[in-house]
Amino acid sequence: MLEVENLEVNYGHVKAVKKISFSVNKGEIVTILGSNGAGKTSTLFGILNIVKSKGKVIFEGEDVSNKSTVYMVKKGIVLCPENRRIFSSLTVEENLKMGTYLRGDYSKNSKYVYDLFPVLKERKKQKAGSLSGGEQQMLALGRALMASPKLLMLDEPSLGLAPIIIDEIYSVLKTLKESNIPILLVEQNAIKSLKISDRAYILENGNVAHQGVSKEMLNDERLKKSYLGK
C-alpha cells in the first residue's frame, strides 16, 4: 500500500528526518513511536509534501514523491493532524462536510461516522469549538474518515485526552482495522499503540532506532526500559 524509501526532511540546516524507510501493507496498523522532536510529525508531513522532502514515496504502486498535497489526498492518503485542527466556528456537521471537499460521499460517510461516534450526531448542529477535547478528537477523526481514506494517517490521537476517551478512540481504531483501512499511527502512547498495531518503528533523532513486530516489541524488556517508558 505505502512504501517510503530514504525519506529526508530538513528545516534549514536541521535534519528532522534522516533517510528513513518503512512500509504499510493493506489492512495493517503500523505505529511510529518516539519522543518529542524525534521526527514523527515531520515524517507524515514529508509523505504528504506538506513540507519539502527528499526520497521516494510509493502509494499503490505509483511514485508520488513529487506530487502535491492535494493530489495525495485525492489519491486517498488522509491525515488526521495533531491538535485536531478543527474549524471551531463551524458546526460539527459543517466540519464533516469539509472532510469531503476533495473526495468522499457526504451522505454515505456521515452515516458511517455518526454510527462510530453517536455523540457527534447528537451535537451535529453545535459549534465545534464548544465541544470537549475528546469530542473534538472524535470530530477530527470523523472528518478524516469523511474523505474515504485508502490510507489513514493519525498524528497523536490520544494527546491530552482522559483515559476513558483514549479507550474509546482506540476501540474505533480497532473497528477501522477490521474494515481493512490501513493506518499509519504516530504516537507517544507506546504501550497502547503497540497493543493494536501489527508492526512498529521507533524514531530517535530522525533515524529508525528499532523496528519489528509490535507484540515482540511489547515483550522486549530492553526496549521497554529504553523507549517504552516501562
pLDDT (tens digit per residue) in 163-187: 999 999 999 999 999 888 999 999 9
The answer as to whether 205 is a domain residue is no
Q: Which domain range does residue 60 map to?
A: 1-21+38-74
87 and 99, same domain (yes or no): yes
CB 104 within 8 A of CB 74: no
Neighbouring residues of 221: CB distance < 8 A, sequence distance ≥ 6: none
* Same domain membership, residue 123 and residue 147: yes
Task: Look at residue 16 in the predicted model and tell me its pLDDT.
Answer: 94
Instruction: For Cα atoms 40, 171, 217, give the angle at the middle one, nearest 5 degrees.
Output: 50
φ, ψ of residue 17 to 5 degrees: the values are -130, 130
**Model confidence band, residue 229 (pLDDT cutoffs 50, 70, 90):** low
Number of domains the chain is built from = 2
pLDDT value at residue 30? 97
Asked if residue 155 and residue 139 are part of one domain, the reply reads: yes
- Residue 29 forms part of a structural domain: no
C-alpha pair distances (Å), 24 with each of 13, 18, 188: 29, 19, 19
What was the pLDDT predicted at 228? Answer: 67
User: Rounded to 5 degrees, what angle do the CA atoms 38, 49, 133 make?
Assistant: 60
Angle between helices 133-145 and 106-116 (to 10 degrees): 140
Backbone angles phi, psi at 209, to 5 degrees: -85, -35
pTM of the model: 0.92
Report if residue 163 sits inside a domain.
yes
My answer on whether 80 and 172 are in the same domain is yes
User: 86 and 185 share a domain?
Assistant: yes
* Residue 225 covered by a domain: no
Residue 223 covered by a domain: no
Q: What is the pLDDT of residue 190?
A: 87
Percentage of the residues of the chain whose pLDDT score is greater than 70: 97
92 neighbors 131 (Cβ within 8 angstroms) = yes
Are residues 61 and 92 part of one domain? no
Residue 5 has pLDDT above 60, yes or no: yes
Residue 180: inside a domain? yes
- Kindly indicate the confidence band of residue 37, based on its pLDDT and cuts at 50, 70 and 90: confident
**H/E stretch holding 80:** strand 77-80
Q: Are 175 and 99 in a shared domain?
A: yes
Q: What is the CATH number of the domain that holds 69?
A: 3.40.50.300
Q: Which residue has the cell 533517510?
A: 19
Q: What is the pLDDT of residues 45-81, one digit of tens each?
A: 999 999 999 999 999 999 999 899 999 999 999 999 9
Question: Across residues 119-139, what is the average pLDDT?
Answer: 95
